[in-house]
Structure 1
């Protein structure tokens, strides 16, 4: 449930940022029917995300007895997508506003309302599709999760996003965009680690990966991952009170890969700026 709340909160704020940038530009640079095309694009983007959700549900039914393998693949896909999103935002976050406005300016110059709609639909659809994949991967990694608590967590995440966006719009008096993205990218990487860990656990339970040593230790006396507080830590970081050696090795490998990718992307950005 905590994962659902966080994902909906973070992705909703990012979608609101995109819509806010586009709305502000159209307010300052009126185009024929511009805002109607804007909101049409928002609806189209949400429709794309809904179609993806239906497609994932249908695909999981088609796979039948291989459903657990499909779910494990989606868990790993969600973790990989989160890492990619964090790296992409670190590289393109500063130029996001400029790129969106350039796309709107090009469509306005051609008096192309459909171009505005397509740009908005792709921008919003990207955020919505990421949310769908993240949520599907999260639910695939959670066994027997009740529906109503998850729905309430999603609504709470959206309401929290509205509050956060309002605070961010106050110009950094209470919360700055820079601080928001830096804090949430750390939380996102921890969440991806939790998803990756649950995927490894699923592969071990399916006898696809060996546990090697299970359990490697027992830290439940300090923090039991079956307790309320331990469950939250487990869901958001991948903590295990009774980890298998394979799970621990995979967890360490995840962080080594993330750090290597961050260093590689940082060097690439520095090289591009120096050119």
Structure 2
């Protein structure tokens, strides 16, 4: 639930901020006539995202056996890759607010309402499709649909977006995205490790070492799982958030650690580059 909450909170807030920036530019330039194009773009983006989610669910339900394991493994790896590209994009981007404002002003100046529509549509659709893939990946890892966490994240993000737009609330968005990026890095590492595990189940990837360690407590005599077993309440929480595995294979551990080292190196390099500039 926590992972799905963070995912939808971040993705929906990004979408809300984009809409808020475009509306703000139009309001300052008294171009209220373009408002409807913004909301048409929002509605179209949401509708296409829902269609994409329905298609993805239908596709996911059409596999069984080895094909299902292969699909799940690929989905997890794609989810981890997309989260990584999202984080890298956040590291690289400059003044995104100014860039979006300039683009909106350009479309208004050249009287291109359809350009505003498609600009918003693409932005909302991108966030929507990313959310669909992230949530599907999270549900495959944890085994839960995480619907309530996802809905709570969406509602809270919309509320924050409205409050920020009207000035009812001030938050440090840089710190917010920095903190959620760190959490998502560990989530992505877990997705990649679990994706590797699924591909090992299909025989595509080698096992190397069957169990590097096994710290799962013994199942209770009544059949219930102890708190910190990966299928217990506490362990299940860590599985969904960080991809925790109580008895990983050697290749899973390698993929998890190498991913974290790689992204940490890249992050450090980006910070040093910005410091020099």
User: How many residues matched?
Assistant: 267
SS in 2 for 1:232: helix
Within a 5 Å distance, the mapping from 1:1-275 to structure 2 comes to: 1-31=1-31, 33-60=33-60, 66-92=67-93, 94-143=94-143, 145=144, 147=145, 150-165=146-161, 175-221=171-217, 223-263=228-268, 265-266=270-271, 274=277
Q: Matched residues in 1 for 2:119 and 2:153: separation?
A: 26
TM-score, normalised by the number of residues in structure 1: 0.85
Per-residue deviation at 1:251? Answer: 0.8
Counterpart-to-counterpart distance in 1, 2:8 and 2:86: 15
CA deviations over 1:186-229 (Å, ceiling 9, x no partner) = 01111111211221221222232233223222333594222211
Distance in 2 (CA, whole Å) between partners of 1:156 and 1:130 is 17
Q: Distance in 2 between matches of 1:115 and 1:166?
A: 24
Per-residue deviation, 1:261: 3.3
Q: Distance in 2 between matches of 1:67 and 1:214?
A: 22
CA distance in 2, matches of 1:53, 1:257: 31
TM-score after normalising by structure 2: 0.85
Quote the Cα distance in structure 2 between the aligned partners of 1:113 and 1:83. 33
Are residues 196 and 44 of structure 1, via their aligned partners in 2, closer, same or farther at CA, if it must alter by over 3 Å?
same
Cα deviation code 1:128-185 (max 9, x no counterpart): 1211121122233344x3x5xx322222122232454467569797731121111111
CA contact (8 A) 1:33 1:113 kept: no
Runs (5+) with no aligned partner, structure 2: 218-226
Gap runs ≥5 in structure 1: none
1:267 deviates by 6.3
| Alpha-carbon distance, 1:90 to partner | 1.7
